Chain A
Amino acid sequence: EIVMTQSPATLSVSPGERATLSCRASQSVSSNLAWYQQKPGQAPRLLIYGASTRATGIPARFSGSGSGTEFTLTISSLQSEDFAVYYCQQYNNWPPLFTFGPGTKVDIK
C-alpha cells in the first residue's frame, strides 16, 4: 500500500497570504495525484488532478506541482472561503488501492 503523508498538520495563514501545503508518497506515484478541499460538514471537493490540472470551476489561485513522491498545493492569496482541510490522494495503482493523506488544516492566523 502506498502511504501518503501531509505537512504541516495545521497551517495558520492570514487572509491574502500565500499557503503552501506538502504531500509525500511512500513510493513514486508519477503524476497520479489529486487534491481535495473539505469544509466542515461538507463533502470533499476535487481541486486538482494529475498533480497540476485544476478541476472545472476551481479558481486560478489554486495550483499544484510535483511528481514522483513530492507534491505541493499552493494557494496564492488566501480568501476567507479557503480555510478548510486539504487532502491529497494517489491513484497510481491498478487494480486500484486509492489512499489519502491525513490532511492539512488551513486556519486563520
Chain B
Amino acid sequence: QLQLQESGPGLVKPSETLSLTCTVSGGSISSSSYYWGWIRQPPGKGLEWIGSIYYSGSTYYNPSLKSRVTISVDTSKNQFSLKLSSVTAADTAVYYCARLWMVPSTGRAEYFQHWGQGTLVTVSS
C-alpha cells in the first residue's frame, strides 16, 4: 500500500529556508505514471498547491511562490523534497506531499490521489 511521509524541521526562523522531504513507500517514485507534489494549508485555512515534479526532474511551480520554491527528486532514495526560501510567518502551514495521477496519453498531471499525513511548519524567531 502506498504511503507518503513528510519529514523536516517543525520550526524555521524568518528569512531562512524551509526544507522538507517526502519519503515514498509501497511504490516507486520512478513510475512513469505519476507526478509528485507539495500542497500547504495554513492553520484554519484552505489548500494551496506549491508545485509538482516528475521522476525525470521536470518541475512545475505555483507562480505565486515560484521565485522561492525548489522541488527536487532523489530516485535512489525514493524521495522528493521541497525548499522554500526567505520564509515569513505567512508560510506557517501544514505541508502535505502527494501523488498526482498523470494521464498517459497527454502526460498531464491532474488530481491528488494519495496524500501524506502532513507536517506542521511554524515560522517564528
Report which A residues bind B (CB closer than 8 A): 1, 32, 34, 36, 42-46, 49, 55, 87, 89, 91, 94-103
Do A49 and B110 contact each other (CB < 8 Å), given the known contacts A43-B118, A44-B115? yes
Contact A89 B112 (CB under 8 A): yes
Cα of A89 to Cα of B113 in the assembled complex, Å: 12
Cα of A42 to Cα of B41 in the assembled complex, Å: 12
Contacts of B11 in A (CB 8 A): none
Contacts of A98 in B (CB 8 A): 49
B61 vs chain A, min Cβ distance (A): 9
Size class of B's contact patch?
20 to 34
Q: Does B104 contact A (CB under 8 A)?
A: no
A3 vs chain B, min Cβ distance (A): 12
Contacts of A45 in B (CB 8 A): 115
Contacts of B117 in A (CB 8 A): 42-43
Do A34 and B47 contact each other (CB < 8 Å), given the known contacts A43-B117, A49-B101, A97-B62? no
Contact B110 A43 (CB under 8 A): no
Contacts of B42 in A (CB 8 A): none
Report which B residues bind A (CB closer than 8 A): 46-49, 52, 60, 62-63, 96, 101, 106, 108-118
Specify the main secondary structure of chain A where it touches its partner: loop
A53 vs chain B, min Cβ distance (A): 10
Contact B47 A96 (CB under 8 A): no
Contacts of B106 in A (CB 8 A): 94
Contact A96 B60 (CB under 8 A): yes
